[in-house]
Structure 1
Amino acid sequence: MTPLAAIVLAHADPTHVRRLIEALPDVPVFLHVDAKTADTVAEDMVRGASSQVTLCPRLPTSLASWSLVAAELVGLRTALRSTSAEHIAVLSGSDYPLVSAPRLVAELSAWAGSSWMWNQPLPYAPWGTPRHPDGGRWRVEHRFLTRRDRVVYLRDVPLRWPVRREVPAGLELRASAQWKIYARHHAELVLQIVDRHPEMVRFWRSTLVPEESFTTSVLASPTFAGSDALPPCAAHAWYMQWPEGRSDHPEWLTDDAFPALARVVAAPPAEPAEAVGTVAEKPLQRRRLFARKFSSTRSSRLLGRVDAELRTATP
């Protein structure tokens, strides 16, 4: 069985995307490039790539919309059809592994049969806003206006109907992240739920930022997932650096981020026994396997140090 496959969702910076692929030797990579990205840029992302990389059918995507879920599902279908991978990681084109590929596989061996998806029940306090102090339920309980699976904005404000709606019966809402590691059986299960419950897809298509909550919510719901329902998880496999105050996006990582990256690599490994089933407002301070966001221009020297000082360690 292939221990790990990776889905990479990219739209820019082919230099970094190539570096990311090279940092995952022997890992089958399924690359989804935003359909809005120029063909020449997409071709540059896979220039010189081996059979390690499979290009997925391209969809137009935008942040905070079902379009990103659709791209992830395309990647899952392709990866499941093409490999026997035990785990499937979903990465962005600005991610990068903090440990070597052998150590990555070794760390995931402790998670055999388990998905590593940070997720917490809603309401989740950090997802509340001054206007919506409901722990993030507003993202789902309002119907947002969409066009071609992309949320419609006016002056950077997502447009929605003012009246709240009912959440489908049996749905256990979860706060999560787009970047996650599926166990194979959960990847298969989420596609089965999508295929068997078109009404669920219709509901989620008009939510805000479904890429951060759809898959974990449906997988966490015994009504849809049965006895294989996903429990909460307090460990996160990704490191992100957030600016002070409220922000929708993590910071780009530059040279001064190296001490923090070194600390999260040196931290104790995340153990399913303590992470799975645990409800906590903040992720456990355990080892992270990936980080974001990197770029070929802002992060070049930092990536060099990550390669030379962090990713050289053996399992």
Structure 2
Amino acid sequence: MNIAHLILAHNQPGQLKRLISRLAHPDADVYIHLDAKTEMQPFEHLAKLPNVFFIKDRVKVYWGSFNIVQATINGFQQIIRSGRQYGYVNLLSGQDYPLKPAALIHQFLADNPGKAYMNALVAETHWMEALPRVQEYHLNNYQFPGKFMVQKAINKLMPQRKLPNGLVLVGRSQWFTISGECVAFILDYWDKHPALRRFMKLTWAPDEFIFQTILYNNADYKARMVADDLRYIDWSGGGVSPKTLTMEDAAALEASGKLFARKFDEMKDSAVMDHIDKHPA
């Protein structure tokens, strides 16, 4: 089972190297999209590691912006253009870390081919707080003075927006593990629907729903979706970002049964990653 790990990163080259090493496997390639706002030089040595490739078409990523989707699309396209057949594409951040050894991850996915492991709540019934993300105009992908005043004026004057093509909005989390066939379908759909591409540029945090929405609205690919993103993430803090995991979370990580977890920060607590290496979940 060949796996392409696509990592969206923007800092901490040392922690990124550790993640790459943990993912290393004869049947794994690692593709890294480094935020275009980040200087490349401190990361260049990582390209010398076996089976590691940097995404050539880098974009500047801002929190909640469409460009996170564009970075992912650029990564998907380079993976497909590589010509290698991947059973799965695994989307990670630079602050993720595998809870299980690479061999067990590959075995699990080989035993469950063709799936799409991702959170996909239907917004109108189970994720209603997401509806304003598409119903209103959002200018967070653009950087200019007074943009929020302009955004407010636009939403006051313009009618409520609707997803093109009658799409049902689903999603919840940006991170997922999906089959190579799912990636190919997403890229084909994206290429053939320019109205959707234009629409997404004016939404908020579309990375948390666009890929799930594309798959969910096709009967064949909807049937492949599994309501489990294979990740342990602690949102107990109630903020806009998950908890940074430390040694106090070690027991929960071991008991989770998940393949991956986020988020980690080696500057805050590297011991928890040492513990995972010695005591895989």
Q: TM-score, normalised to structure 1's length?
A: 0.80
Give the equivalent residue in structure 2 for 1:175: 171
CA contact (8 A) 2:141 2:202 kept: no
For 2:236, what is the secondary structure of its paired residue?
coil
Aligned partner of 2:213 in structure 1 is: 217
* Mapping of residues 15-30 of structure 1, within 5 Å: 15-26=14-25, 27-30=28-31
Which residue of the partner structure matches residue 71 of structure 2? 71
Say if 1:219 and 1:230, in contact at 8 Å, map to a contact too. Answer: no
Please give the alpha-carbon distance, in whole angstroms, between the structure 2 residues aligned to 1:103 and 1:231: 21
Shift in Å, 1:149: 8.8
Structure 2 unaligned runs (5+)?
Answer: none
The CA distance in 2 between the partners of 1:39 and 1:169, in whole Å, is 40
The answer as to 2:252 corresponding to 1:260 is yes
Q: Provide the residue aligned with 1:36 in structure 2.
A: 37
Structure 1 residue 51: deviation in Å?
Answer: 3.3
> Larger % of helix: which?
2
Cα distance in 2 for residues equivalent to 1:229 and 1:16: 35
Residues 185 and 232 of structure 1, relative CA distance in 2, 3 Å threshold: closer
Choose which of 266, 290, 293 in structure 1 pairs with 2:263.
Answer: 293
* Conservation of the 8 A alpha-carbon contact between 1:115 and 1:181: yes
Please tell me the residue identity of whatever aligns with 1:65.
Answer: S
| 2:118 maps to amino acid | M
Contact preservation (8 Å) 2:96, 2:263:
yes
* Structure-to-structure mapping, 1:135-284, within 5 angstroms: 135-148=129-142, 154=148, 161-162=155-156, 163-222=159-218, 227-229=220-222, 233-244=226-237, 246-264=238-256
Match of 2:108 in 1: 107
Task: Give the conservation status (yes or no) of the 8 Å contact 1:5–1:87.
Answer: yes
Aligned-partner Cα distance in 2 for 1:210–1:167: 12
Deviation at 1:40, TM superposition (A): 2.5
Q: How many residues align?
A: 272
CA displacement, residues 247-281 of structure 1 (integer Å, 9 cap, x when unaligned): 110011111010110110xxxxxxxxxxxxxxxxx
Distance in 1 separating the partners of 2:43 and 2:125: 37
Contact 1:124 1:175 in 2 (8 A): no
- Secondary structure of the 2:76 match is helix
Aligned-pair distance for 1:148?
4.5
Secondary structure of 2:89's match?
strand
Distance in 2 (CA, whole Å) between partners of 1:110 and 1:292 is 24
Secondary structure class of the residue paired with 2:203 = coil
- Paired AA for residue 100 in structure 2: V
- Residue by residue, what CA displacement relative to the aligned partner does 1:105-156 show, whole Å, maximum 9, x if unpaired? 111123201111121211254x4xxxxxx34211111111244499x8759x
Aligned partner of 1:306 among 273, 276, 280? 276
Give the Å deviation of 1:243. Answer: 3.3
Q: Secondary structure at the match of 1:201?
A: helix
Larger mean Cα displacement after TM superposition, 58-67 or 94-103? 58-67
Partner amino acid, structure 2, of 1:54 = F
Residue in structure 2 matched with residue 60 of structure 1 by the alignment? 60
1:230 and 1:144 mapped to 2: Cα distance? 32
Q: Aligned partners of 1:146 and 1:79: how far apart in 2?
A: 28
**Structure 1 letter corresponding to 2:136:** H
Deviation at 1:229, TM superposition (A): 3.8
CA 1:153–1:29: 2 relative to 1, 3 Å: farther
Q: 1:29 to 1:149 in 2, by over 3 A?
A: farther
Question: Are the aligned partners of 1:180 and 1:237 in contact in 2 as well (CA < 8 Å)?
Answer: yes
How far did 1:39 drift?
2.3
Q: Does the 8 Å CA contact 2:163/2:196 hold for their aligned counterparts? A: no
SS at match of 1:202: helix
- C-alpha contact (below 8 Å) 2:117/2:176 kept by paired residues: yes
Distance 1:306 1:135, change over 3 A: same
CA gap of 1:118–1:18, structure 2 versus 1, over 3 A, is same
Structure-1 residue corresponding to 2:88: 87
Secondary structure of 2:91 counterpart: strand
